[in-house]
Structure 1
């Protein structure tokens, strides 16, 4: 979650400033979605923010106060488990979010249409969280909590977060209405998808591994027809002991169908494995011109 920036001390001043600006923008976008769309319509987010909304509803204290206070223990845990830089960027993001929600609390909401608030609130929350995660921080201690529990339970981080949010949305059903609770679940789903888009990027890359007896023919066809470079790896079958050449290639998701067609047209028995990649850097990933 924050491991990509643990060594950010090696970054230039300009890079650090850019990262701080993006975390600031992400936290403010999240605050807009929360205070001007979701909260006025009693639609909730999950995690610590969801708990903060419920406490604010009962006690009349601004949501930002609870977001800040409830996240403090998890910032400390994140410092111990992940690193100093993660704790600093998370502290920055949560502080900006807390202040922004307080400042935006008395502004007239964008809409009172429950469906519109749910859709666009979820989009803004996902965009804000995605930006903060992409640049090394987080706006909610739930994931840190899940990582901690993951080490002591048989459940995955994703499953623990899901259980926590189901409990929060169930409480929301009693506090507000079950209709609001269901809209909250929809907003959370939209936000999670938006986070994926921001963190992984619109043009999601895929890794491709191919094993075949006519590997050179397939490799040449990929370069000629798809315009992608390929790398030949040397493998050995554990069962047969036979040496095999393996193609490794990186493509976009839009090229996946074409890749399958190329491999199938040359060797119907070829082994083909395609997986998602969150980020590609370096090398010659840019597509060559096909003549």
Structure 2
């Protein structure tokens, strides 16, 4: 056991977060506030880690009047690490990326993406706001590692393509996590 409070916070947060994260990921509970958090997650699409952090922050803030500010701050550090680890384990360490591509060469880009990283794509019909021109937007989901390849494909196929990349919080269904309600 360490006598350094910061080390205790870091390792306590990591170890507790790992244990609780795997428990939540497998649909079980550690008891206490996480039952409330699971209900809120189901009804409001908020992560369990965020709910627990918020609820426990309120509790710790109220107890700040009884204990030293140092203990409160160390507790907040532990909580932040703990709930960040819980969310990372539940959501997965490497978040998937959502890529939207507007290009005159979408078909070629889609074929190359499938050939190189075995990811399918979806065409979304759209209309530009200024010229009212009908276009197709290419929609691709890939891992962070695959994103490097996707960018290379787009760059060599159409340097004028318009591309947005976003993190996803969860992907369910066909080729990803099983859809369970």
Runs of 4+ in 1 over 6 A off after TM superposition: 144-147, 157-161
Q: CA deviation at 1:115?
A: 2.0
Q: CA deviation at 1:279?
A: 4.0
Task: Kindly indicate whether the alpha-carbon contact (under 8 Å) linking 2:101 and 2:162 is maintained by their aligned counterparts in 1.
Answer: yes
Where in structure 1 are there 5+ consecutive unaligned residues?
1-109, 151-156, 286-291
Task: Kindly indicate whether the alpha-carbon contact (under 8 Å) linking 1:172 and 1:180 is maintained by their aligned counterparts in 2.
Answer: no
Listed one character per residue, the Cα deviations across residues 160-215 of structure 1 (whole Å, up to 9, x for unaligned) are 86664443233333323211111111111111221122112233322222221111
Instruction: Give the Cα–Cα distance (whole angstroms) in 2 for the partners of residues 249 and 255 of structure 1.
Output: 11
SS in 2 for 1:229: coil
Match for residue 99 of structure 2? Answer: 208
Match for residue 228 of structure 1? Answer: 118
1:247 aligns with 2:138: yes
Instruction: Give the Cα–Cα distance (whole angstroms) in 1 for the partners of residues 51 and 170 of structure 2.
Output: 22
Match for residue 79 of structure 2? Answer: 188
SS in 2 for 1:175: coil
Q: Over alpha carbons, which structure has the higher Rg? A: 1
Instruction: Give the Cα–Cα distance (whole angstroms) in 1 for the partners of residues 169 and 37 of structure 2.
Output: 21
Match for residue 84 of structure 1? Answer: none
RMSD: 3.4
Q: Write the mapping of 1:74-153 to structure 2, written as runs, cut at 5 A.
A: 110-138=1-29, 139=31, 140=33, 141-143=35-37
Instruction: Give the Cα–Cα distance (whole angstroms) in 1 for the partners of residues 13 and 176 of structure 2.
Output: 36
Of Structure 1 and Structure 2, which has the larger fraction of its residues in strand? 2
SS in 1 for 2:64: helix
Q: TM-score, normalised by structure 1?
A: 0.47
